[in-house]
Amino acid sequence: MFKKIQVLFGLAILASCKLLSQDTIKVMEYSLLKYSSGDANVGRYKDLRTIITYANPDVLMVDELDSFNSAKYLLDSALNKAGVGTYALATFFDGNDMDNSMYYKTSKIKFKSMSRITTTLRDINQYYIYYVITPGDTAWVYLHMCHLKAGGTHSTAEGTQRGAEVTNMCNAIASIPQTKNIIFAGDFNFKNNLEPGWIKMTTNCSHLFSDPINQVGSWAGNSFFKNVHTQSSRTSAYPGCCGGTTGGIDDRFDFIMGNNPIINGSNKMKILPNTYKVLGNDGNHFNLSNIEPPANTSVPALVNQALFNMSDHLAITVKILVSSLLVSVQENTSFNTSKLFVAQESTGNFLIAKVENAGEYHLQIIDMVGKNLLSKKLELQAGYNNITPQQLGLEEGIYHAILIKDNIKTSCLYPNK
C-alpha cells in the first residue's frame, strides 16, 4: 500500500507564521516548426498570438527558431500584441542548426542569466530565473530547453545520440546543488522509456528528473497515451504548411520534466501535476489531425486552428506553485520522525500521518490565502494513520495540512480531489 504513497514534502512551520504567500507560474513549452521571420509563412505569428492570448503563460520556452531576428519578431508581433501583459526576451544565442528561446512576463518573472550546453547538434539552453514571493523571499528555478536529435528508436544511432545529448546536460548541471529547482523541457524525440536519454535523466543523472504526470511507457503509436501525445497535429489529408510531419497525434515527443525538489515541493516551488495540459489534445484524435472530425472542443475553435497552423507539435502548459511555505525538511528530534504524507488513490487523495508515539495530536487545514479552515484533535496510533477526505469535509482544492504535537509542527501540501 505504502508504495503508492507519494511524499510531497515535510517541513517545520514557525509558530509565528501568520500569512501564507503563494502564487502560480504558468510555463509553456512549444516547438515552432522552423519558424523564420524571413520566409513565406511569416504570418504564423498571428497564430502564435492567438495561442498566447488563450494560454496566457508567464514563461514561454520554444525551439525551432532560425535566428535572433525571428525570436524578436515573435516577441514584438505575437507575444506583446496578445494583450495579456508585457513579455521580454531572454538572452539569445544563435547556435548550430535551429535555436531555442525563452520569453517571460516582466510583471512576474525576473531573469538572471542564460547559459549554453553544447551538443554535437543543437544547444540546450539554460535560463536562470526567479520570482519574488515577498520582499526578501525569493524563489529560483533553472529552466532548460532542448531539441534532441530526431528519428530512429532507442536502439538506433539516433537514440544513442539523444542519450549523449542528455549526458551533456547532466554533466553541465552537476555543480548545481541538489536542493535547487530545475526544469528540463523541449522536444526530446523519445519513442519510449527505453531511450538511453530517458534512462539517463531519470536514473543516472546528476539531478534525477521525473515526469510530473507519471505517464511513462512506450508512447509512440500507443493509444493508451492518447491524452498526452504532442505530435503530429497534421495528417496527409490535413498537411498544413512548412513541411511539418504528418501522421496524426500519436507521439509524445514533448515534455516538461522536473527534478526532485520541484516535483516534491521542497524549495518554494512545486509543479502541480493536475495542471499539466497538452493544448489541442482532447484524447479523441489519436492518429488524426487536431482539426479534423470529431469536433475538438478542448480549446476554442480559433485556438485549435491556430495550433494546427503554427506547428506540427502541440504546446504543453503546466503551473508551478510558488509558496514561502514550501521549504526543506527540518528534523526536530523532539518530534522524532513524525511526518505527513499524501497518498493518491483512484477515489481521491487522503492524508497519512506517520507518528513515533501514540497520543493526541492536533491537525490544522489552511487554505491557499491563509485562512484556517479546520482545527481537529486526533488520537493517533504509533506508525501510520489514515486521515480520509470524509474526516476533513473539504471542497476540492489545494490546502496546507499541519500536524502539531507539543508545539512542534510538520506539514504537507494536500491536493484534495
> What is the DSSP secondary-structure string of 365-400?
EE-TTS-EEEEEEEEE-SEEEEE-HHHHTPPSEEEE
Q: What is the CATH number of the domain that holds 411?
A: 2.60.40.3080
The pLDDT score that the predictor gives to residue 221 is 96
More confident residue, 45 or 20: 45
Residue 17 pLDDT grade (very low, low, confident, very high; cuts 50, 70, 90):
very low
150-164, 188-202, 253-267, 357-371: the lowest-pLDDT one: 357-371
Q: Which three cell numbers, joined as nine digits, stand for 122?
A: 543543437
Res. 59: pLDDT tops 60: yes
More confident residue, 408 or 205: 205
Res. 380: pLDDT tops 50: yes
The pLDDT score that the predictor gives to residue 103 is 98
233 and 176, same structural domain?
yes
The pLDDT score that the predictor gives to residue 3 is 35
Task: State the pTM of this model.
Answer: 0.77
Mean pLDDT across 16-30: 72
Q: Which structural domain, as residue segments, surrounds residue 408?
A: 327-416
Q: What percent of the chain has pLDDT over 70?
A: 90
333 and 304, same structural domain?
no
Res. 13: pLDDT tops 70: no
Contact residues for 16 (Cβ-Cβ < 8 A; gap 6+): none
The pLDDT score that the predictor gives to residue 197 is 97
Residue 390 pLDDT grade (very low, low, confident, very high; cuts 50, 70, 90):
confident
Mean pLDDT across 196-221: 94
Q: Which pLDDT tens digit goes with each residue over 75-125?
A: 999 999 999 999 999 999 998 899 999 999 999 999 999 999 999 999 999
Res. 226: pLDDT tops 50: yes
Total Cβ atoms within 10 A of residue 5: 14
Q: Which pLDDT tens digit goes with each residue over 273-307?
A: 889 999 999 999 999 999 999 999 999 999 999 99
202 and 175, same structural domain?
yes
- Among 273, 300, 323, the domain-final residue is 323
The pLDDT score that the predictor gives to residue 329 is 36
Res. 384: pLDDT tops 90: no
The pLDDT score that the predictor gives to residue 291 is 98
197 and 185, same structural domain?
yes
Q: What percent of the chain has pLDDT over 90?
A: 68
The pLDDT score that the predictor gives to residue 334 is 36
370 and 228, same structural domain?
no
Residue 351 pLDDT grade (very low, low, confident, very high; cuts 50, 70, 90):
confident
Res. 178: pLDDT tops 80: yes
The pLDDT score that the predictor gives to residue 327 is 67
The pLDDT score that the predictor gives to residue 92 is 97
More confident residue, 34 or 135: 34
Q: Is the residue at 10 inside a domain?
A: no
101-110, 233-242, 307-316, 397-406: the lowest-pLDDT one: 397-406
The pLDDT score that the predictor gives to residue 21 is 60
Res. 338: pLDDT tops 90: no
| Cell 531573469 belongs to residue | 111
Q: Is the residue at 2 inside a domain?
A: no
225 and 338, same structural domain?
no
**CA–CA separation, 133 vs 108, rounded Å?**
10
Mean pLDDT of the chain: 88
Res. 394: pLDDT tops 90: no
The pLDDT score that the predictor gives to residue 346 is 55
**CA–CA separation, 103 vs 160, rounded Å?**
31
For the chain, the helix, strand and coil percentages under 3-state DSSP, each to the nearest 5: 20, 40, 45
Q: What is the CATH number of the domain that holds 276?
A: 3.60.10.10
- Among 276, 298, 323, the domain-final residue is 323
Q: Is the residue at 367 inside a domain?
A: yes
Q: Is the residue at 74 inside a domain?
A: yes
Q: Is the residue at 1 inside a domain?
A: no
Res. 144: pLDDT tops 60: yes
Res. 310: pLDDT tops 60: yes
- Among 276, 304, 323, the domain-final residue is 323
**CA–CA separation, 302 vs 294, rounded Å?**
16
180-184, 261-265, 332-336: the lowest-pLDDT one: 332-336
Res. 14: pLDDT tops 80: no
CA 14 from chain centre, in angstroms, equals 29
Q: Give the CA count within 13 Å in the CB-facing half-sphere of 243.
A: 6
409 within 8 A of 15, measured Cβ to Cβ: yes
272 and 406, same structural domain?
no
Residue 386 pLDDT grade (very low, low, confident, very high; cuts 50, 70, 90):
confident
149-163, 219-233, 351-365: the lowest-pLDDT one: 351-365
Indicate the number of domains in the chain: 2
Q: Give the CA count within 13 Å in the CB-facing half-sphere of 18.
A: 1
